[in-house]
Amino acid sequence: MTQRNHPEQGDDKGDVRMNLRTYGKKPYRVALVHGGPGAAGSMKPVCEALAGYVGVLEPLQTKNTIEGQLLELKSVLEAHTSEPVVLMGHSWGAMLSYMFAATYPQMVKKLIMVASGNLEHRYVEAMNKRRAEKSKQLPAGDAQALHDLQAALSNPNENDKHTLFAAYGALMDQLDSYDPIHSPTDTSRYDYDIFRTIWSEASMLRNSGELLAMGKHITCKVVVIHGTHDAHPAHGIEASLRRVLEDFTFVLLEKCGHTPWLEKQAKETFYEVMIEEIEDIR
């Protein structure tokens, strides 16, 4: 891959609507879908980095059902694009984008799944073991804080769960990283209620096998980007997809955790891959 410098963001520097941010110049050909669930705004650094190459949409999930999020994403794309898009999702966003490409194949030109969550229940135990081992490396204060946050989020009488969810997410990012870039994250739109309800529904879909089976309806090109040190085992993501997709590209990033653009040793390669994947649509 050729080394490239990342251009500055386009003219429209993060135009914000209730469930959408836009970057760069029209036409918008790429949509970046955040994870969590409920971590709205977490894709902003990637949107800004890519906006000098192509117009970018950053849909922000506001619905608390999977069907609601799929319809919300459909509505955003219909309102702001006139042709199929490159749909890139991170973590939960990769799973949602996978379901979207299966449900509305005519709207997706290419699907890019970055650090996808497990698509089959059989790989959850391996993920939990990795996190348990990594948690032993946390400073004692952080380990206790993680335990306390888990307890607080489970307490029905706790009122400030959105703030707690953001703090919990920051500690989980430590468990899922390799050599992280410590960068401030805007968590003002993080929503624990969305996380709780969506993840409950998604877990049932995954456990039943329905989630993975949806991939049989995907007709576009699929690119999977995954870090070697992501807690979600890369071999599990690849093996699952091989069961339902005839062909896809799998890019394994060395020395990389769950958030490639915040990894010191993988960030540049991640952006090179992303730019190559969007250049052929311009």
The span from the CA of 196 to the CA of 192, in Å, is 6
pLDDT reading at 132 higher than 90: no
**At residue 251, what is the residue type?**
V
First to last CA, the chain: 19
Q: Check whether 9 has a pLDDT greater than 80.
A: no
pTM for this structure? 0.90
What pLDDT does residue 255 have? 97
Q: Confirm if 47 and 60 have CB atoms less than 8 A apart.
A: no
- The full 3-state SS of 30-90, as one line of letters, equals EEEECCCCCECCCCHHHHHHHCCCCEEEEECCCCCCHHHHHHHHHHHHHHHCCCCEEEEEE
Rounded distance between C-alpha atoms, residue 229 and residue 174, angstroms: 12
Q: What is the mean pLDDT of residues 252-269?
A: 97
Average pLDDT over residues 29-42: 91
Please say whether the dihedral angle defined by the alpha carbons of residues 157, 162, 163 and 168, taken in this order, is positive or negative: positive
Span 26-43, mean pLDDT? 92
267 by Cβ neighbours in 10 Å (0-12 / 13-18 / 19+) ranks as buried
Residue (of 22, 12, 40, 33) closest to 80 by Cα position: 22
Tens digits of per-residue pLDDT, 209-244?
999 999 999 999 999 999 999 999 999 999 999 999
Q: Which CATH class is domain 13-123+190-279?
A: alpha beta
Closest alpha carbon to 131 in 176, 67, 189, 185 = 176
Give me the chain's average pLDDT, please: 89
Q: What confidence category does residue 136 fall into, taking pLDDT thresholds of 50, 70 and 90?
A: confident
How high is the pLDDT of residue 5? 36
- pLDDT confidence band for 189 (50 / 70 / 90): confident
Q: Where are the domains of the chain?
A: 13-123+190-279
Please state whether 115 falls in left (phi above 0), alpha (psi between -120 and 50) or beta: left
